[in-house]
Structure 1
Amino acid sequence: MSFQAYLDNIEAKTGKSPDQFRKWGKAKGFSTGTGLAAGVKVGAIVAALKEEFGLGHGHAMAIVALLKGKKS
């Protein structure tokens, strides 16, 4: 599955676009807009995404990659 397919599936499930997840990450203090905030652990982000949005591990990791700025 391509990264874009992950994002499309996430948006279909949650109703949130990648830009909305970027804003969510900044609002939660997980990211700076250009990468993860200092001291933030990936596990904390994954746990929050699973709890708040019902995402599975793979989809949560796709959002982590988005927040890290590794994928656009």
Structure 2
Amino acid sequence: MSFQAYLDAIETKTGLTPRQLLDEATARGFGPGTKATPIIQWLKEDHDLGRGHAMAMVHVITKGDRISTKHVGSDGSHADASDRLWLDGKESMPAEW
């Protein structure tokens, strides 16, 4: 599953875009420098996300919308088309993304 696919699945499960979850996390004081554990606990308690999906959001919350280029354009199961993640909802994602 690509990184973007994880974020899309999170949106399907929670009804919230990754950007909305990021805004909620920021309001709770989570951001760069926050350890994964409190973010994972919050996402489990409030949104019933499992560890894998929560870790995708941990990355977005602590590191932003950029990912390593090592998976971009690869043929692996974790391949992404871009080194940027779309956070504003899968329905609004531009076709060229």
User: TM-score range with shorter-chain normalisation?
Assistant: 0.7 to 0.9
Please give the TM-score of this superposition, normalised by the length of structure 1: 0.83
Q: Please name the residue that 1:24 is paired with.
A: 24
Distance 2:23 2:58 in 1: 13
Distance 1:41 1:64 in 2: 9
SS in structure 2 of the partner of residue 16 of structure 1? coil
Aligned pair count reads 66
Q: Please name the residue that 1:4 is paired with.
A: 4
Q: Please name the residue that 1:62 is paired with.
A: 56
Q: Please name the residue that 1:48 is paired with.
A: 42
Percent identity for Structure 1 against Structure 2:
48
Structure 1: tracts of 5 or more residues without a match: none
How far is the alpha carbon of 1:19 from its aligned partner?
A: 0.9
Q: For residues 22-68 of structure 1, what are the alpha-carbon distances to aligned partners after superposition, in whole Å with 9 as ceiling and x for unaligned?
A: 1011100002xxxx2x4x32101101101100000000000001112
RMSD over equivalenced CA pairs, Å: 1.2
Q: Post-superposition, which runs of at least 4 consecutive aligned residues in structure 1 deviate over 4 A?
A: none
Distance 1:56 1:42 in 2: 13
